[in-house]
Amino acid sequence: LRVTAYYVVGIVPASLALGFAIAYALHRVGPGRALLRTCFFIPYITSTVAAAMVWRALFNPRYGVANQLLSWIGLPPQRWLLESRGVLFLLTGGWIPSDWGPSLALCCIILFDIWHLSGFMVVVFLAALQAMPRELEEAARLDGAGSVTLAIRIVLPAVRPTLLFLAVAGMCKTLQSFNSIYTLTQGSAVLPETQTLIYYAYAQFYEFGYWGYGSAVAVILTVLIIMLTALQFRMLDRGRSVS
């Protein structure tokens, strides 16, 4: 559960923030908006397995681009997807215990999933922004509101139903995410620090043969997803009643 919590908390807020920021920037762009929207959506429609294999090569400890970039700025190479120690431990030089916070391997997986999921957030946020009444923005600009104030005080409250929908949908998708973890870790169960609930259930089933234990974990995961789905439908019904 701890790894799953790190995984969900690391992906959903970051992808929401990045998706909204990009969508808001595209909303203010005139020509070329459709082309840019397509470019940002490409990572989401790309095969997860194929994209994860490319990222796995980037994080390869021997010949990956990530370690080459570190060497150019004078930093030591890292093991990336093979590193079980916490990223806070590595950043502080050992001042923080190695089991505090997510591992470096899990952070690499989180980074990939943020890149993969943000395109979906961009498209949905952009649709909500384009459906927003122009009068709200124009009135705020006449009152002297800047871009940041406009985004925080006017735009965010206007797209709040979309934000809540994407938050719940992102949590459901993240809880069910398996292909990225399996491909990036090469299907290895060596690192418990990268095993989310769904991957843990898979490992109990097919790697260790603990059918009962794996079934119990799968049931817990199913209950969590059902609860989130029910919450999503409730928010949608509330939005319809308000409108």
Query: For the segment 137-153, what is each residue's pLDDT rounded down to a tens digit?
Result: 778 777 777 778 888 88
In the chain the domains, ranked by start, together with CATH numbers, are 2-242 (1.10.3720.10)
Q: Three-class SS of residue 1?
A: coil
In a 10 Å sphere around its CB, with 0-12 CB exposed, 13-18 middle and 19+ buried, how is residue 239 labelled?
middle
Question: Distance between CA 123 and CA 236 in Å, rounded?
Answer: 19
The 10s digit of each residue's pLDDT in 168-198 is 889 989 999 999 999 998 765 557 888 899 9
- Note the pTM of the prediction, 2 decimals: 0.90
Q: Three-class SS of residue 41?
A: helix
Residue 79 identity: R
Question: Distance between CA 57 and CA 51 in Å, rounded?
Answer: 10
